[in-house]
Amino acid sequence: MKRELTPKEVIFKIICNEAEEKKERIIPEIQDSYKRVGRALSIEKDGFNLYVIDSFSKNKLKQLIKYIKEQYKKLEPPKDICYVVVEDAKKPEAIFVENGKGKQLKETVESLKTKYLEFAEDFYNSSSNEKKDKLIDEIESKRTKYINELMDMAKVEGFDVKASAKGFAFIPINNGEALTEEQYDDLDKEKKESISLKAASLKKKAEGILDTLKEIEVRYIKKLKNIYSKFLIVEMEEYKDNALLEFVNDDESYEYLERLFIEIEKEVVNTYTMSIEDDEAGLYEIINKYAVKILVDNSINLSPVVIYEEDPSINNLMGSVEYENNNGVYTTDISLINSGSMIRANEGCIIIRISSLATSPYSYYYLKKALMTNKLSYDTSRVYSEVVSINGLKPKPIPIKLKVILIGDYESYDTLYNADEDFKKLFPLRAEFTDIVEMKDEVVFYLKDYVKNRIKENNIKEIDDDAIMEVLKYLCRRANSKSKINIDDIDIDKLIILTNNYTKERGGETISKEDVTAIAYEEEKVEEEYMKMFKENKILLSLNGKKVGSINALAVLDTGYHSFGKPMRVTCVAYKGTGRIVDIQKESNLSGKIHEKSINILKGLLSSILDPYESMTVDFHLSFEQIYGLIEGDSASVSEMICILSALSKKTIRQNISVTGSLNQFGEVQPIGGVNEKIEGFYKVCKLVDNVKNKGVLVPSSNKDEIILNSKIEKSIENGDFHIYTMETLNDAIEVMILEDGETIEDFFKTINEELKKYEDKDKDKDKDKDK
């Protein structure tokens, strides 16, 4: 049955219930997605990270972060994280400090280190400790006594004693003066041997005295160290107690300080040798190694942190250990450890785009490793130290607990989920955000407010209500439905900003409906070139009258960044044969798989509607004229079938109506894509080449709800110049494209049977000639 859409059915209008305008602006589909995000955040068990399927934009990211922060509001503030040296300076340990107290811990440790140095120097230089002074005096006295005894013995034997780094040197004397080498050489052999034997005897006695002195010093140093240790304990007691009191509620810091006191005092006492000159360098080295490096200072964060990592390189994500080049020698220490976003987001959430992560595969590996072990390791920095043979730091791994949210598309998720076993375990949760939502009053009011707010935020010209409605119309068109709308902020912002520029160029004060239309339906250069070829008659197209075996089909040319519709001529020639449909595109290797499938469907459909019990004696030569690229898709199925039936029946096809639609084997018309672009493409060509009066298109009835056209075409339809017909079956298409007034489908197929009989009669005539 011939069905033409009325202007009311075509012209797009958004009707809202004004009573709903005061209600909260929410989008149900988006709210449901956010609930999934909230559910993921509420799961404390490890491994329940989230993959968000959504297109990326700054505004969407801002809204996501805002939502997560709202969920975290009532949670405890995150702890500060510090690396500290306790035993081995090359292997700093991580401790978690009460929120905001990392700086306080560092200052406390620095203050304690200063006090240890002060009291250590005081112990060396002060004479207020009687026990210490007494022991030192005793050591000095015994040392003097033994050395004097040695000197006396040497004097008796005729030697002078000189102290050296290796012990004592015995120099022979003559008449109270040291014997010179020349004098020694002048001595007779017997005298020389006598001096040598005496010197050897003295050296042996000196060694014994030195051993005795060492034993005495060891014994006395041990006593002095005990005094030193008690001295430090007593003198530092108040300062240690005050420090511990500051962190009495912070178990890890308290335990660290206790260990620190023990280690400092143990090492400081162990270096004691009574001489401040000898011990000073070692003392400062010991004290200074006990450093605190604040990796994460959460003093300004009252709730868990949400971080978006824009560039997830290994260093940015996991952190790094830097090295300094000092005259060709590479060195590092705890102060050169840098934190990454993973550790800064500890106890909170980190957001990463999967496309950014894909540019750094090592980052993805170490991210998974950290999530699987719940520890962050700085072993990523060891690669550098191994290359240049540096004995660098080996910081101990840091326990972590955080949520990771990856933002990406379906394809990436599907690939990772099916190809990476670790990903499947680490990201079992998924939240899908859609840009296409149901058209409801609250959504319309939300988008109106959004447009107005974006205009204020971007300092854009005022926009009138008709222009806003035109923006919403464009968004519905982007959603390919009158009952749905596209809420992608990138599309909205792009349209608003470009329209604002267009308004400025024309000197307008306010963005109007016409301005929005001009930008929304702006032609690209490639479309202009195609239209020019139609106008110059370089692409042949008949728009008036009727023709046998020639039909105007509709196609969409999509460059990826711009799509537009254009009509194309499909022709068919019928001739004596065996029932084949010869697809010239396929024969020329210019047919895609889906198009090949559609041709095979047409073969089955043609056989079923003519005579399924007899094979046809006619072939059909089908061609897409002036198409030199690959033909793909099945939206030309109706056009091809109408063309075949026309060539077979010799009935003409109306050239003023262009057709698009897909067929199945039962002759039912199926929906196609790009219906608006196809209608507008044919309209533009008609306007350029001829005129739009009495022109029209035939489209699937199932695409009726997708028809959202620019206002010029709507006006033309309203004036009765341009027409849109719909079809549900092949018979509907035959009626619109071929049949005359008063002619029925039965009459049409009767004509076809008569034509088929002619082909059969030709076969019979040939058989008779052969018999003769």
Instruction: Please choose, from the candidates 620, 601, 762, 587, the residue with its C-alpha nearest in 3D space to the C-alpha of residue 667.
Output: 601
- Flag whether pLDDT at 8 surpasses 90: yes
List beta partners, residue 325. 330
Q: Tokens for 156?
A: 């008796």
- What pLDDT score does 15 carry? 81
Alpha-carbon torsion 574, 580, 586, 592, what sign? positive
The residues annotated as belonging to the active site are: 635, 678
Residues in the chain: 772
CB 661 within 8 A of CB 702: no
Q: Give how far the C-alpha of residue 608 lies from the chain's centroid of Cα atoms, to the nearest Å.
A: 54
Most confident segment among 4-8, 123-127, 458-462: 4-8
User: What is the rounded end-to-end Cα distance, in angstroms, of the chain?
Assistant: 50
Helix H or strand E encompassing 755? helix 745-771
The pLDDT confidence band at residue 731, using thresholds 50, 70 and 90, is very high
Spatial CB neighbours of 628, under 8 Å, sequence gap ≥ 6: 590
The pLDDT confidence band at residue 766, using thresholds 50, 70 and 90, is low
Instruction: Please choose, from the candidates 722, 726, 665, 732, the residue with its C-alpha nearest in 3D space to the C-alpha of residue 698.
Output: 726
Give dist(CA 330, CA 389) in Å, integer.
9
CB 704 within 8 A of CB 679: no
Token match 């056209």: residue?
709
CB 552 within 8 A of CB 655: yes
Question: pLDDT tens across 637-656, in order?
Answer: 999 999 999 999 999 999 99
Query: What is the pTM assigned to this prediction?
Result: 0.82
657: left (phi over 0), alpha (psi -120 to 50) or beta: beta
Give dist(CA 516, CA 750) in Å, integer.
53
Residue extents of the structural domains in the chain: 14-26+438-520, 62-78+301-427, 111-289, 528-765
Spatial CB neighbours of 487, under 8 Å, sequence gap ≥ 6: 27, 30, 435, 436, 437, 443, 446, 447, 475
The pLDDT confidence band at residue 122, using thresholds 50, 70 and 90, is confident
- Flag whether pLDDT at 229 surpasses 50: yes
Q: Give how far the C-alpha of residue 570 lies from the chain's centroid of Cα atoms, to the nearest Å.
A: 47
Cα separation values, 433 from 29, 398, 471, 478, Å:
8, 34, 22, 17
- Flag whether pLDDT at 476 surpasses 90: yes
Give dist(CA 149, CA 320) in Å, integer.
63
What is the average pLDDT score of the chain?
88
CATH number for the 62-78+301-427 domain, one of 2.60.40.680, 3.40.50.720, 3.40.50.300, 3.10.400.10?
A: 3.40.50.300
The percent of residues above 90 in pLDDT, for the chain, comes to 62
Stretch 469-493: mean pLDDT? 92
Helix axes 637-649, 745-771, angle to 10 degrees: 60
Stretch 552-578: mean pLDDT? 92
- What pLDDT score does 22 carry? 54
- Flag whether pLDDT at 386 surpasses 60: no
DSSP string, 564-629: EEEEEEEEEEEEESSS-EEEHHHHTT-B-HHHHHHHHHHHHHHHHHH-TTS--SEEEEEEETT--S
Q: Phi then psi for 171, rounded to 5 degrees?
A: -115, 120
Give dist(CA 631, CA 458) in Å, integer.
44
Q: Give how far the C-alpha of residue 575 lies from the chain's centroid of Cα atoms, to the nearest Å.
A: 60
CB 403 within 8 A of CB 349: yes
List beta partners, residue 723. 696
CB 670 within 8 A of CB 598: no
CB 701 within 8 A of CB 695: no
The pLDDT confidence band at residue 104, using thresholds 50, 70 and 90, is very high
CB 138 within 8 A of CB 223: no
Question: pLDDT tens across 423-445, in order?
Answer: 999 999 999 998 899 988 888 88
Give dist(CA 631, CA 595) in Å, integer.
7
- What pLDDT score does 384 carry? 47
Give dist(CA 662, CA 682) in Å, integer.
18
Spatial CB neighbours of 139, under 8 Å, sequence gap ≥ 6: 216, 217, 220, 274
Q: Tokens for 450?
A: 């959004």
Which CATH architecture group holds 528-765? 2-Layer Sandwich (3.30)
The pLDDT confidence band at residue 771, using thresholds 50, 70 and 90, is low
Give dist(CA 599, CA 588) in Å, integer.
15
The CATH class of the 14-26+438-520 domain is mainly alpha
Which residue would you say has higher pLDDT here, 173 or 718?
718
Spatial CB neighbours of 611, under 8 Å, sequence gap ≥ 6: 756
